[in-house]
Structure formats: C-alpha cells, structure tokens
Chain A
C-alpha cells in the first residue's frame, strides 16, 4: 500500500489518510433542522418552469420558516439529479422534463440561497458516464450551465463521480447501527460544506418504487469506488458504470473503503437498496429536500422501463413543487402526491419490489413518514395529488 503524506509530516496509509481527512468537517454537518418536530414540508402548485418557479419557491421557503438561518454565511452543497445517459431523451423532450431536476428549479433555488446570504453554492452530481466537468454534462444534455452559474455570485459546479477537484476521498460514517455499510468514501464536496440540499425529480424507480430526494443521495457515492468499473485494490482513476453493487452486492467497494457489515445478508436488491439509502442519509444528512414535480415521467427513472413491468413511460405534468427540512417527511409527501400511501410497505404499491425506504429511514431515526406527524404547509394535498399509476 502506498503511503500518503499528511500536512503534519506524518506518513499514513491510504486507508488512514481517507479516514483522517473527513474528521475536521463532520462536526459541521449535523442538521439542526432534523430536530424540529413535527418537520415542516411545503407543497405548492407550480404550473410551469421559467419565471413561474422563483415566486413559488420563495413562498415555500417562507412557509418553512425561511432559509436564512440555514444558509447565511454557509457553503451550500446542492446534489441535483442528472440521470444518465446524458444524451438520451424521452421522445423529443429533454431530460429535464422527465428525469433530471429542471435547471430552472436549480437556478431559482440558487438565487434564493444567495439572497438568503449563502456564502458559496456548489452544484454537485456524479456521472456514471465520464469525469467531465459538470458544466460539460449540462451541455451534453442540451442546457447552458451559465444560466445557473450566473444566477448568483459564487456558484460552482463539480462532477463528484470521482475525485473531481479534490485530492483525496473523504470518509463519512453512518450514525447508529448501519443496515449494510458502516460508512462511505466520498468526493470532498460532501464534507467541505455546511448545508446539504438534495434536489430531485418526482419520479418512480424500478426497484425502490420511488426515486425522490433520499434516493437522489445514492448519487453522492463516487462511481470510481461503487460503480461497475470501480477498482478493487484502489478506486478507479475514471468513473464508469452504475452502482450495481448497492443493488446486488456482487462485490465490495474498492479498497480501502468500508465493506458491508454482513456480507451474508440478503442479496435481494429490494432488501439492499432501501437500506443503503438509509445508511447514506445517516452518514451524510440532508438539511433541505426539494422535489421537482412540475413535469416528469411515469414508470421509470431512466429512459427505459424494466421488461415485464407492463407499463410505458408517459411524460406528465403534475405541476407540483415540494420542499421540506426533513428528507423522509418530504419524500413521504411526495409519495402521497404521486397517489401512494407513504405508510405502505412491500408488497403494496409502490413497494412491490422493495422494502419501503421510507419505513427503514423512519426506523433509523431520520424522520417521519406518517403525514399526521408532518406539518404540511402550502396547497392542500388533495388539490396536488397526481396519481402516477393512473397515467396509462
């Protein structure tokens, strides 16, 4: 194993170097908002993208009690949802109408964070395809990243599929008893921040049933360590491939990243994936969760549906934005808007193929999924409901 020199002159192993690097930052990431009870979630009608987004999002943030205390003077990391393949579209519709967080929502949030005093705003996503700068991946999809970068001062982007602009990976550890992994090694961006925002699309998932703000956080794990082309002896130099190991457990992450606590646990993706999500969220808590449901697609989080599912991808316009200070509560509201019971569990919809990640997250102490325990603000839920399974 190669030795790694540290600032002090001490020589550490690579494993020690990764673990030690995370230390100074972890104290800064405890989410105070998680303690609020009942957690606030705002849901509102927003019929279209463009200029319509900003006033709706502003009002939603106000309904959450304002975001000034959360972001003022802070470095805000925004994990967006930019599902690969980057150059693929649903029909002629660009990916931000179906699978990606729409750039207009990102832009509006960025402007509001800056307005509330954020010191630095970092837009983050890991590509399963390449190590391009994130700006290039926006262009590949067909969007001009400058529209986001110029929405406020001090806005940056980084592709976190590998080391990115960092020099080493940083260890984040699961608080409490882990389900699958005791910790993860991640790009520097997820520890060198004060506030973590998960900004996802309101959409379905082929295994989990739902792909919302919590599932979006799976994407903070580097593809170089957890992707199909991850190295064994050490992280791959370049990222490629999906994080199939989270689903099937066919292998362990690259050395020296933390291995599964029980390699004999079930290899069923429906068992593993929701638990890995709860582990990631306990290792890297989310302070603000935002769901873009203005336009989206049904049936799949990718451009194809699972064979045998019997459903087709439909482009739909639920016309909804949801934001909350707790990701479990926010996703529970998202599930309800999509026409599902957030208290349901396998095998009831939408959890036919997986244990409910909402239940597992709740049991892990991450937040409530019961709507009666959530302080819902904004438009009445019954007016926002858009049943995904009824879109034939």
Chain B
C-alpha cells in the first residue's frame, strides 16, 4: 500500500497553479473538507471529517511542538522536570502505534494562532518530529505561510524548502522505518481503565529524560517482546494475573528486573532501594513500590534509578530542550538517533554516547550531512554531533 504523505490544502490557494509548490515533493495526498475545484492529477484527496476519519489511518490530535513560551519575563514555563516545559507529540504517536498497531498515524494540529507569531522555519520541525517517530503531521500551513507562498515571499519559500528537505530526508532513508526502538526497558500496560492516566503520561514524559523504552500493550505481551530487555515496568493498578503474570515472572526469573505493583512477591525483601522492596526471583529481581503509584513523573524517575542511568542505550549531553529517539536493527549494528530540538535557535554543541560501540556516525540535518568520528569518553566512546537548528539524525554503524 502506498504511503500517503498528507497536506492540508490551504483555503487561500484558489486555483491549480498552487500545485506548483507540491510538484517534485514527496507530498502525495491532499486533505480538506472539500476537494479543490480543479483536477488534482496524481494527488489523492482525503475528505476531512473528524467524525469519520479516513479508513486505515489512525488520527490523533497533536500539539505544536515547542518549548512553551515564557509566561514571565525571562522564564520559560517550568514543567514537572523543573526544566522548561516542552510540548511534544512523541508519546501521543507511540501510544497510537501501540494501541492501533500496523496503521499509519497522522497528527492533526495547527500552529498557534492569536497574537502569537510563529516563525515559518518552525514548520519543518513539526514535519520532522512526526516522521522521526514514524508518523505524519497533516502539514497545515498558517494563513501567513500560505499567503506568503502565494506571493512568492522569500521567507515563505525558504521555510517551504526546509519542509521539503525534512520530507526528502526521511524519504531517502526508508530503512529507518524498519528499525525498532533500541531500549532495555519495556513499559507494559493496558493503557486504559485505572491505569490510563498514569501509564499514558509515563509514556509521554520519558523522552524528556532520554529514557528509552519499548511500549507493549498487556494483551500483546509475548516472550519475543521482552527479548534483550533488562527491565519491565508493569503499570497497572493491580499486579498482573494469568498468562501475563507467567510471562513477566519468567522474565524476572530469567534475570530481568520486573517493576510492578505490590503483590507479586512477599516476605522479606533482599534489599530496599529508593523505598522499593527488591525481592529475588530466580536469576532476577522484582521491585515493588512502597505505595500505589500516583505521579507519572516520580514513577519515571524511580524506574530510571532502579534501572540505573548506566543502562541508558544513548546518552545526550547539551540537550536540555531535546527529545532523543534511538531506533536500530535487531542486532543494533546499525541505527539512527533522531534528535528533535524544541527550543529556538541553534542547540549548543551536542554530544552523544552509546551503550555499545559504534565505528562511525553520520549527522544528517535539514542543511546537509557530515561524518563524525568517536572520541573516548568517561563511559565509553562519544560522538560530537555539534550544533543544529531543529532536527538531526545521527546514523551509527558498528
């Protein structure tokens, strides 16, 4: 099935001449409430009706990706992390992919309106963010952007060029789509009922800590989904039962760390760590919290500590307003780290470190590509990625 790359036809574009902006780009699907009144050629049209989303596509409402603007002088909105609050679509996309596996995910949102002026070059970040997580943003230009293109303004044309560069970058690397998240932690949950808020917020928050994870819905849990994993956090109100319990216990007994609500193990714990009772289970361990979880941010920090930052598959320095998403082949001999910068301007010089050794790396941005060489770091080899504007892909090879 052909992959559709959606673009919302601007109402300001009133005739077929505007199709020139799409010509030669990967965009192949127009979205709108009504089909434009002229022949569309090879472009597929998808009628937009929120009540009846197109078949075969998962639609999710997204947010304009960015560091939230300052509400006080010189201060960005602070989040639970204490760092500036970032609006990101990473969790929404990954949850959609987990809950509706196999279906393409489209994000539906527009740039902020009102008094807020959004620089046009930020639209490329929205495109790249969705693509990095294997989804598509329904590219929706602001009125200023579409009018700017209609008038052939330099600023709009340059911003459009960046959007096309982002699309082309991902089109040139179809292998990235076949890669799986590189992680040693798996989040298992029903993602509904009592666990819905906690589990879904957990998944939304983890990218900000650069805590890599796989996400598995409870009913989809299989032995293969835990292969190569060092820890599982089972986020539900009650401990697992039946087949799920058997699989998770087998994981722990085989040497893994199972973090789950109280009730899987009893008696005297082997140790107590950050309040968690740690029980031996075969070759592995079961960690039970001192009380029922209620705060996804605290839970995330606790899981990261129980696992240890030592197990981070990728480490990011100078990336405070950044998500990292590392996907790789099953053997992890090749992979790519998607870095999405949510702040404005250039990043500081970014450095990446990896759990395993890679021979070389290539940095691909919307501006170009370059090869970088590793240098010895305190925990292994590190790669000097350097500065970039909104998005960088770092391809690594063993």
Contact = CB atoms under 8 A, between A and B. Distances in A.
Contacts of A87: 316-320
Given A87-B316, A88-B320, A142 B378 contact: yes
A25 interface: no
A291 to B, nearest CB: 22
Contacts of A370: none
Interface in B287-310: 301, 305, 308-310
Interface in A76-118: 85, 87-89, 91-92, 94, 96, 103
Interface stretch (A30-38, A133-141, A276-284, A356-364): A133-141
A144 B312 CA distance: 13
A89 B309 contact: no
A142 B305 contact: no
Nearest to B382: A142
Contacts of B379: 139, 142-144
Contacts of A241: 82
B353 interface: yes
Interface string B315-330: 1111110000000000
Given A92-B349, A94-B378, A142 B317 contact: yes
Which of B315, B317, B320 counts the most chain A CB atoms within 10 A?
Answer: B317
A329 B375 CA distance: 39
B351 A139 contact: no
Contacts of A103: 378
Contacts of A88: 317-318, 320, 348
A139 B308 contact: yes
A129 interface: yes
A386 interface: no
Interface residues of B, number: 22
B309 A92 contact: no
B301 A92 contact: no
Contact of B82 (A133, A143, A240): A240
Contacts of A144: 378-379
B382 A140 contact: no
A92 B353 CA distance: 12
Interface in A209-257: 229, 240-241
Given A94-B378, A130-B301, A140 B309 contact: yes
Given A132-B305, A136-B308, A139-B310, A85 B320 contact: yes
Interface string B348-367: 11010100000000000000
Nearest to B377: A142
B207 interface: no
A320 B382 CA distance: 27
Contacts of B318: 87-89
A2 to B, nearest CB: 19
A285 B85 CA distance: 40
Interface of B: 82, 301, 305, 308-310, 312, 315-320, 348-349, 351, 353, 377-379, 382, 384
Given A136-B309, A142-B382, 11 more contacts: A87-B319, A92-B384, A129-B82, A136-B305, A139-B308, A140-B309, A142-B317, A142-B377, A143-B379, A229-B82, A303-B348
26 contacts: A87-B317, A87-B318, A87-B319, A87-B320, A88-B317, A88-B320, A89-B351, A91-B348, A92-B349, A92-B384, A94-B317, A103-B378, A129-B82, A133-B305, A136-B309, A139-B308, A139-B310, A141-B378, A142-B317, A142-B379, A142-B382, A143-B378, A143-B379, A144-B379, A229-B82, A240-B82
